[in-house]
Structure 1
């Protein structure tokens, strides 16, 4: 959505379509920050850190070969399926907060998905490299086609952006499933007491809304491109 040159379509009334997604994105970012900040101040009674919880859960599911690394940044936690590594951010790796343990378990959920061949994750992994390339080309191609009234370039841009939209939609079940797994696998481990699981669940639910906002933005932007293509035929 970041254009390298002036985009005349920004003056089109279809821009109004994006307002709900922008508002949801802003709300989701505020919610995830406030929820994380709240539960990052609550130390889990079990006393284990995010890194220790991740290591314990990985070993429990036969994933002792997956290393738990420390990565700099704020909420840069991720599981990398390419080299099967799990990385935890500054606020998670060494923290024994409810929020840290919940996020660490979420990333373990991704590692378990990978080991089990969870279909949505496997599909996302396969298309991710291509999506990263074509999504950067989609909007510029469409804008050039719109300015030149070239249907082929507009259609090509729409097809490429459709791939990015599908990627965002597939991400939703991947992330929600990882969060569901996180709460399930934490239960009974001692990393979090039963009454602390709700805090971890709140953090993960808040984070999930950022993916919902991204998916909604992609869908509405795709609709906008279709509207613009139709309007170009009337010029």
Structure 2
């Protein structure tokens, strides 16, 4: 009896959850493994970030500590590169790799990398869209009048903006990792085997963004399936 009341589109949600969990698990295992590998230069993540930024002529970006695990990020609005507990004082190749990746974002900002500008513009819109999408869709499904189709279309548009943000994020993250690997190799900060280790860490991190994007696309597909009949009435 339960089968007949189960929404079959939930399978799309479950697939997205499994993909994200697998990617997150892969990332955590890889980071933990290379967090135990000390870099030959003995530099901390903070020191590595400052050296990379200065080597590229970037002196107006502050490097700060932020609490949490792998909460590292670059804030383009305030030109602040924030490194987490696992990166800030660690001398591992994983920590230096993550710090270099965030420096890649700072370098994108300094060089006017277009996808980063697009992502920054989309960020507040996508955040608002992801928050308002489902309420609009639910209201559209509840009401049975001309307004319902409008609400459904607005909800789909709002969620689509969130999906677009995820898609734009992919080239931004891939490019930042590529810049990081090039910088670590060209500056001689890490030996080639160490750069190879960093590549594994950043590849695992990139998979989490791919998984997040795939999950968002599956969610959008589910929304389109659930609302298709109502929107066509």
Partner of 1:101: 96
Give, in whole Å, the separation in 2 of the partners of 1:77 and 1:234: 45
Q: What CA distance in whole angstroms lies between the structure 1 residues aligned with 2:46 and 2:188?
A: 14
- What does residue 5 of structure 1 align with? none
Q: CA deviation at 1:190?
A: 3.3
Alpha-carbon separation, structure 2, partners of 1:85 and 1:156: 35
Q: How many angstroms apart in 2 are the aligned matches of 1:88 and 1:233?
A: 46
Q: Tell me the distance in 1 between the aligned counterparts of 2:158 and 2:36.
A: 43
Q: Which shifted more, 124-133 or 70-79?
A: 124-133
Aligned position for 1:172: 170
Structure 2 unmatched ranges of 5 or more: none
Q: 1 CA distance for matches of 2:42 and 2:168?
A: 35
Deviations 1:111-155 (A, max 9, x none): 000011111100011121121112100111101111224111111
Tell whether the 8 Å contact from 2:152 to 2:231 is kept in structure 1 after alignment: no
Match of 2:41 among 20, 41, 46: 46
Residue in 2 aligned with 1:37? 32
Separation (CA, whole Å) in 1 of partners of 2:198 and 2:190:
9
Residue number among 62, 72, 86 corresponding to 1:91 in the alignment? 86
What is residue 186 of structure 1 aligned with on the other side? 184
- Paired residues of 1:45 and 1:192 also in contact (CA < 8 A): yes
Q: Distance in 1 between matches of 2:113 and 2:186?
A: 24
Q: Distance in 1 between matches of 2:58 and 2:207?
A: 29
Gaps of 5+ in 1: 1-9
Distance 1:129 1:222 in 2: 19
Q: Tell me the C-alpha RMSD between the 2 structures.
A: 1.5
1:82 pairs, out of 77, 84, 87, with: 77
Name the structure 1 match of 2:14: 19
> Runs ≥4 in structure 1, deviation > 3 angstroms?
231-235
Determine the structure 1 residue equivalent to 2:212.
Answer: 214
CA distance in 2, matches of 1:18, 1:143: 17
TM-score when normalising by structure 2? 0.93
The Cα shift of 1:11 comes to: 4.4
What SS does the corresponding residue of 1:13 show, helix, strand or coil?
coil
Q: Distance in 2 between the 1:229 and 1:129 partners?
A: 26
